[in-house]
Amino acid sequence: MKISVIGCGYLGAVHAVAMAELGHQVVGVDVDAHRISELNSGRVPFYEPQVAQILSLALARGRVAFSTDIAAVAGSRVHFLAVGTPQRPNSQAADLAAVDAAVGALIPHLRPGDLVVGKSTVPVGTAAALAARLSAECPGVMLAWNPEFLKEGSAVKDTISPDRIVYGLPPGGDAEVARAYLDDVYARAVDDGTPVVVTDYQTAELSKVAANAFLATKISFINAMAEIAEVVDADVTKLADAIGHDGRIGRKFLNAGVGFGGGCLPKDIRAFTARAEELGCGESVSFLKAVDAINVRQRQRVVDLVVALLGGEIYQKRVAILGLSFKPDSDDIRDSPALDVAVQLKGLGADVVAVDPQAISHAMRKHPQLTFTENVATALDGAHATVLVTEWKTFTELDPTWAASLVRRPIIVDARNCLDRQAWRSAGWVYRGIGRN
Ligand code: UGA
């Protein structure tokens, strides 16, 4: 199929190259000229495993091209909207400016029978409003809402072999036509038996924010348990195992630690709450404010723990921060708990040295006051305290004896509960996890 993808950030670029990998003919469009020229040269402007390989393959096969000119969508039958919907600067709600601009730019190039497919995460009700706009300005063009559930770090796999696909279809006869297009787009996954949930716009939009709200709630739930566990000298990792073996609960997303970050979970729960309030049913999701508050508190608790372990004297103490991205296998620092902890410690007067395999250039632009290194040994050298905040493999596999030989004081805060604490203690470290006795 001939497909266009409007917006070539994390979501759109991955979607474009994954669609090309599936055999479609794809054009990606973005207003950012630098991003487009990088992609056309086979360079991925962010770190995400596998994307570079499938991009260069798709370029070599002539299956994908990128452009800043929206007219490049001409000839495509299906047009994916994959632009960002960040949090508005002075509010909790989502900013739909990029969605509106993308649709406005697309409209003159649409032909009757084309299908516009929304992938961006939007407040419920957005698709219906866009469908009304399309039917007024370009009759005969259809709209579907097809939320994306990919995770950074495994984005390609999640796009090509998703857990499920949701089709939010238009009412009436268009539903069948739109569904046939989407079945063609996702033919491989559909043939492989991937569950397809067919529904209306509003359920599709809600399913996306509900999924992220549920995941965020799970993480804050276990972090709340971690706080209790600390008070009563219990171990939250064992508690998570104990409840996670119950198939109804499940062990995934029950890892206590510094909490969730990234460009999705934090802003999505806030935008969901704001939208529910607009709809007059804010009470129903008021618990998401507690989820958010617990999450923000985790970062503070990690900072407090470091200060306490240094006897309250943090000023000019050297602190090694292991990790800056919001999760491993990503260079994304949006709302990163790791970066937040680093900045807070720096604000308290600590001499912070941060190390990360991929996120340094982004972090440096945002927080030039921090000191960065790509070398773990340099970060550990002379440290009074070490904080593991993002569980990159290179940190979780550190040899505690080697690490102890570099630091001034062997104090480690394992803010992801990912180290073998026995091994670290045996190597002479004062080890503190989150919610672990
Ligand atoms: C999340 C969702 O998982 C995706 O399904 C969704 O498509 C995406 O948002 C989105 O809306 O675009 P992502 O932001 O890539 O994906 O990252 P997650 O794997 O969900 O992790 C989010 C945060 O939670 C990370 O900071 C991670 O370290 C933290 N986390 C995760 C925990 O603190 N504990 C856990 O047990 C699991």
User: If you average pLDDT over residues 274-284, what whole number do you get?
Assistant: 97
pLDDT at 49: 94
pTM: 0.96
Question: Percentage of residues in the chain with pLDDT exceeding 90?
Answer: 99
Inter-residue contact 409 to 383 (CB < 8 Å): yes
pLDDT at 16: 98
What CATH number was assigned to the domain covering residues 2-198? 3.40.50.720
Q: Please choose, from the candidates 241, 249, 196, the residue with its C-alpha nearest in 3D space to the C-alpha of residue 218.
A: 249
pLDDT above 90 for 314: yes
According to CATH, where is 3.40.50.720 located in the chain? 2-198, 298-432
| pLDDT tens figures, 54-98 | 999 999 999 999 999 999 999 999 999 999 999 899 899 999 999
According to CATH, where is 1.10.1040.10 located in the chain? 208-292
For ligand 1, atom 22, which residue shows the shortest CA distance?
260
pLDDT above 90 for 332: yes
Alpha carbon of 150 to ligand 1 centroid (Å): 9
Ligand 1 atom nearest to 256, measured from its CA = 34
Fold annotation for 208-292? N-(1-d-carboxylethyl)-l-norvaline Dehydrogenase; domain 2 (1.10.1040)
Selected catalytic residue, list 8, 264, 281, 418: 264
Instruction: For domain 298-432, give the CATH superfamily.
Output: NAD(P)-binding Rossmann-like Domain (3.40.50.720)
pLDDT band at 437, cuts 50/70/90? confident
Residue 182 to residue 387: CA distance in whole angstroms: 46
Average pLDDT in the chain: 97
User: If you average pLDDT over residues 173-185, what whole number do you get?
Assistant: 97
Alpha carbon of 158 to ligand 1 centroid (Å): 13
| pLDDT tens figures, 356-386 | 999 999 999 999 999 999 999 999 999 999 9
Question: Percentage of residues in the chain with pLDDT exceeding 70?
Answer: 100
For ligand 1, atom 13, which residue shows the shortest CA distance?
151
| pLDDT tens figures, 383-418 | 999 999 999 999 999 999 999 999 999 999 999 999
pLDDT at 146: 98
| pLDDT tens figures, 113-134 | 999 999 999 999 999 999 999 9
For ligand 1, atom 36, which residue shows the shortest CA distance?
253
Active site residue 418: no
